[in-house]
């Protein structure tokens, strides 16, 4: 597929890396020659220095044969203009990054009037992910499937947990819990475990379950399952506005701290139920005075990754506090993994996953489509939800008779309102949504998991 990416920001670079790895012909456009040289040196993509909102630059980038244009510059207006010109030039499919809260209520209008395939908002998506883990603090990450009927919940096994030394199959026999273990990450190794796999302290586990059954599971392993009742947020950015909007009806006590007085005034005027403190969010004495050592959750959302990391480590010193850290620079990911933070949010990765999922669906020519896709363990294990259409060769065949490739797990089948944790005799029907967990990356169709 021929793809043009306008804007070499964090999101643009992440997209160039992922889409380039999946055998797409990718061309990136940016006004900065330095950024273009950097990205083309690191990834197998072409680069054009220029303004992606001009017809001349788009022609140079190959708009006449492009299948998709993705505009992810730092300007919402420029992104929308790029898409308009691309539609006039080629009528190719277009995706725009639009992050300003001012445009949030007009998303549907903009999408329809401008003919956009998708509008992506990294800050809104990040706020949604943060809100999910605040409602279930035991989790590091929660990914919804099947329109929220099923959740993939990732958590770390605490020291002294009842799970330590237990086999995977004993979750059913000993704990009497209807959850399915999908992955285990231990140090730098990723596993899709069988029933005899034995858990150890500090393992990072992903399980799939309905929300109700997940609460029961976490209660039995003596982990916190109730939602946070009060939260301290440091830093006022776009994501802060979206998070306050998402949490405002939850009954949660919200306190926001930032040293920028105009930003504080604006937030306070929008959200009367939020307590806004104008002060230096890096001042630890101020944080303690405002209750950082007594809150249920602490969320670091400043524009500086280093500050977010340091403040999160400070908050982690208090037992029982759920800590969420926003990080923009993906190059920090390997370092952060060793810092023992709770939940880390990478807005650019969230956005890239959404677009990659769309691109895979565009390529699909078989009997199912990728509906949802998440990296469970980055670059090692993915979970994908497929909608099974008429004609798929997997329909009606018992799972035990299908020849799967190694490291493939059929995690759930959603049929109407029912959620099936499958056994070998179960079959897949037309219209089902099926969740596949696998080490095979870049799946486009559910049949990709079958051996020849």
For residues 56 and 334, what is the distance between their CA atoms, to the nearest angstrom?
40
Q: pLDDT (tens digit, 9 = 90+) per residue, 117-172?
A: 889 898 999 999 999 999 888 899 998 888 888 899 999 998 889 999 999 999 98
Question: Is the whole model's pTM more than 0.95, yes or no?
Answer: no
Percent of the chain with pLDDT over 70: 98
Question: Which conformational region is residue 84 in: left (phi greater than 0), alpha (psi within -120 to 50 degrees), or beta?
Answer: alpha
pLDDT at 255 over 70: yes
Q: Is the separation of the CB atoms in 184 and 204 below 8 Å?
A: yes
Q: What is the pLDDT of residue 184?
A: 96
- Domains, the chain, ordered by start: 2-120 (3.40.50.720), 138-220 (3.30.70.1450), 230-345 (3.40.50.720), 353-449 (3.30.70.1450)
Query: What does the pLDDT average to over 406-426?
Result: 89
Query: What does the pLDDT average to over 221-239?
Result: 87
Question: 3-class SS at 118?
Answer: strand
Query: What does the pLDDT average to over 11-27?
Result: 90
C-alpha distances in angstroms, 250 versus 255, 377, 385?
Answer: 14, 30, 29
pLDDT at 225 over 70: no
Q: What is the pLDDT of residue 366?
A: 46
Lowest mean pLDDT, pick from 31-45, 236-250, 252-266, 374-388: 374-388
pLDDT at 369 over 80: no
Residue with tokens 């099974």: 388
Q: Is the separation of the CB atoms in 392 and 30 below 8 Å?
A: no
Lowest mean pLDDT, pick from 48-52, 222-226, 393-397: 222-226
Residues pairing with 61 in the sheet:
none
Residue with tokens 């403040």: 311
Q: What is the pLDDT of residue 224?
A: 62
Query: What does the pLDDT average to over 293-321?
Result: 93
Q: What is the pLDDT of residue 368?
A: 54
For residues 45 and 203, what is the distance between their CA atoms, to the nearest angstrom?
37
pLDDT at 403 over 50: yes
Q: What is the pLDDT of residue 304?
A: 93
Q: pLDDT (tens digit, 9 = 90+) per residue, 56-73?
A: 999 999 999 999 999 999
Query: What does the pLDDT average to over 191-216?
Result: 91
Q: pLDDT (tens digit, 9 = 90+) per residue, 311-365?
A: 999 999 888 899 999 998 877 777 887 788 899 999 888 888 888 888 877 776 5
Q: Counting runs of H as helices and runs of E as strands, what totals does the chain give?
A: 14, 22
Specify the higher pLDDT residue, 385 or 301: 301
Q: What is the pLDDT of residue 8?
A: 93
Query: What does the pLDDT average to over 11-38?
Result: 92
Query: What does the pLDDT average to over 407-417?
Result: 91
**Sign, Cα dihedral of 121, 124, 125, 126:** positive
Average pLDDT over the chain, rounded to an integer: 90
Q: Each residue of 231-263: b (16+ CB within 10 Å) or e?
A: bbbbbbbbbbbbbbbbbeeeebbbbbbbbeeeb
Query: What does the pLDDT average to over 271-286?
Result: 94
- Torsions phi, psi of 118, nearest 5? -160, 140
Query: What does the pLDDT average to over 74-85?
Result: 94
Q: pLDDT (tens digit, 9 = 90+) per residue, 186-201?
A: 988 999 999 999 999 9
Lowest mean pLDDT, pick from 79-88, 121-130, 358-367, 381-390: 358-367
């Amino acid at each position: 597929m021929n793809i043009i990416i306008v804007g070499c920001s964090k999101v643009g670079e992440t997209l160039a890396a992922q889409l380039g790895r999946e055998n797409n012909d990718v061309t990136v456009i940016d006004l900065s020659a330095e950024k273009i040289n950097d990205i083309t040196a690191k990834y197998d993509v072409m680069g054009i220095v220029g303004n992606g909102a001009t017809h001349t630059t788009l022609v140079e980038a190959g708009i006449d044969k492009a299948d998709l244009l993705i505009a992810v510059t730092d300007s919402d207006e420029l992104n929308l203009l790029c898409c308009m010109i691309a539609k006039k030039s080629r009528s190719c499919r277009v995706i725009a990054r639009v992050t300003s809260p001012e445009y949030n209520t007009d998303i549907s209008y903009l999408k329809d009037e401008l003919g956009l395939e998708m509008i992506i908002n990294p800050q809104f998506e990040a706020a949604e992910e943060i809100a999910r883990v605040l409602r279930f603090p035991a989790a590091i990450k929660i990914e919804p499937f099947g329109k929220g009927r099923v959740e993939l919940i990732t958590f770390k096994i605490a020291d002294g947990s009842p799970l330590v030394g237990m086999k995977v199959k004993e979750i059913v026999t000993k704990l009497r819990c209807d959850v399915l273990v999908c992955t285990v990450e231990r140090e730098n190794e990723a596993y899709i475990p069988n029933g005899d796999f034995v858990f150890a302290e500090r393992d990072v586990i992903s399980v799939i379950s309905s929300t109700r059954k997940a609460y029961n599971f976490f209660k039995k392993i003596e982990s916190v399952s109730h939602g946070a009742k009060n939260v301290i947020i440091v830093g006022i950015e776009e994501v802060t506005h979206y998070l306050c909007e998402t949490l405002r009806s939850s009954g949660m006590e919200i306190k926001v701290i930032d040293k920028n007085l105009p930003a504080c005034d604006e937030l306070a005027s929008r959200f009367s139920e939020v307590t806004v403190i104008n002060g230096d969010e890096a001042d630890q004495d101020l944080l303690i005075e405002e209750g950082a050592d007594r809150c249920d959750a602490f969320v670091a959302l400043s524009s500086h990754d280093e500050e977010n990391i340091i403040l999160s480590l400070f908050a982690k010193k208090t037992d029982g506090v759920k800590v969420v850290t926003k990080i923009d620079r993906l190059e920090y990911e390997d370092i952060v993994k060793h810092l023992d933070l709770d939940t880390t949010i990478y807005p650019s990765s969230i956005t890239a996953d959404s677009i990659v999922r769309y691109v895979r669906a565009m390529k699909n020519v078989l009997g199912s489509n990728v509906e949802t896709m998440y990296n469970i363990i980055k670059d090692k294990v993915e979970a994908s939800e497929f909608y099974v259409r008429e004609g798929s060769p997997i329909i009606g065949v018992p799972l035990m008779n299908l020849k799967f490739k190694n490291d493939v797990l059929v995690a759930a089948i959603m049929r109407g309102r029912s959620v099936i944790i499958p056994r070998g005799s179960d079959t897949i029907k037309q219209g089902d949504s099926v969740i596949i967990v696998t080490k095979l990356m870049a799946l486009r169709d559910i049949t990709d998991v079958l051996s020849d």
